[in-house]
Homo-oligomer: A and B are copies of this chain.
């Protein structure tokens, strides 16, 4: 069975752009299995796509080829890349789209609030090539649609079993955004931020289960304090926090949108404190 090919784009659902990619893939590999991850990434929102692909790849077989095309600089001098990590193969413009999936493999811990894109050296566990071999492109390439004319056929050829090295020259670095990491101060207060607002209006933060003390916690966001971690959404009727399905601390409003109700958007701050032993003081502050 050929590996799965997934597609993540900002092409929307009102045109035939995503379908054009599928037609090209099926022209090269008629047995390709294609799965849409998401085509309604906000136009040009590289960071949103970078996050979403990072939350999905672990559900797919490890030989899956993930094609991610949010490509505002298509046709310019940004390069296209194919990258193989222990978790999957990724094909994308080298514009930060792989920031989350690659950062999982970087040893460096950065807590900087600055998230500008920078060139990052890849660890040995990750192989990457620049898409330079035109043999695997469509015969005519539109400078405005590399998704269809380069990324799609390269993915299809890789799904037929050609080696990664065949599609281009090896490279040892990629352009990545610094993923904002939560910061813990001396008093144990964890300062993080909202990474993503999902379909339900749940606020997904950059704080992971392992970042949170095992003691009881208070989560503060948008001037609200939420005491204690729920296990699942319906456990409370009001604003709650829990560890979501991708392992991140999440703020949710059962049967409602936490983000729109409280006006939270991506990047907004979130704080986690503990209240074991300081309950009274905290109560007073609340």
- Residue numbers of A with Cβ under 8 A of B are 1, 4, 6, 8, 10-17, 19-24, 26-27, 30-31, 33-40, 43-44, 52-53, 55-57, 59-61, 64, 72-76, 142-145, 148-149, 198-200, 231-235, 242-245, 250, 254-255
What are the 5 A-B residue pairs with the smallest beta carbon separation, nearest first? A75-B232, A12-B199, A23-B59, A145-B245, A23-B60
Beyond A19-B36, A149-B245, 5 extra complex contacts between A and B, CB < 8 Å: A13-B40, A15-B199, A19-B38, A21-B59, A144-B233
**What is the CB-to-nearest-CB distance from A226 to chain B, in angstroms, rounded to a whole number?**
16
Residues of B within 8 A of A14 (CB): 38, 40, 198-199
Provide the bound-state CA to CA distance between A233 and B19, in Å: 21
Per a CB cutoff under 8 Å, which of B33, B144, B200, B243 touches A244?
Answer: B144
- 13 examples of A-B residue contacts, CB within 8 angstroms: A10-B199, A12-B200, A15-B52, A19-B38, A19-B56, A22-B35, A22-B59, A30-B61, A72-B234, A72-B255, A142-B244, A144-B245, A149-B245
B11, B20, B22, B37: the one within 8 Å of A199 (CB): B11
**In whole angstroms, how far apart are the Cα atoms of A11 and B40 in the complex?**
13
Partner among B10, B59, B142, B243 whose Cβ is within 8 Å of the Cβ of A19: B59
Most chain B beta-carbon contacts within 10 A, residue among A13, A55, A59, A235: A59
**CB proximity of A183 to chain B, nearest CB, Å:** 26
B23 touches A38 (CB 8 A): no
A138 nearest CB across to chain B (Å): 9
What residues of B have a CB within 8 angstroms of the CB of A55 in the complex? 15-16, 20
Q: Decide if B35 touches A148 in the complex (CB within 8 Å).
A: no
Whether A75 lies near B231 (C-beta < 8 A) is yes
A26 to chain B: which residues have CB within 8 Å? 4, 33, 35, 60-61
A64 to chain B minimum Cβ distance, whole angstroms, is 7
For A250, the closest partner residue in chain B by CB is B144
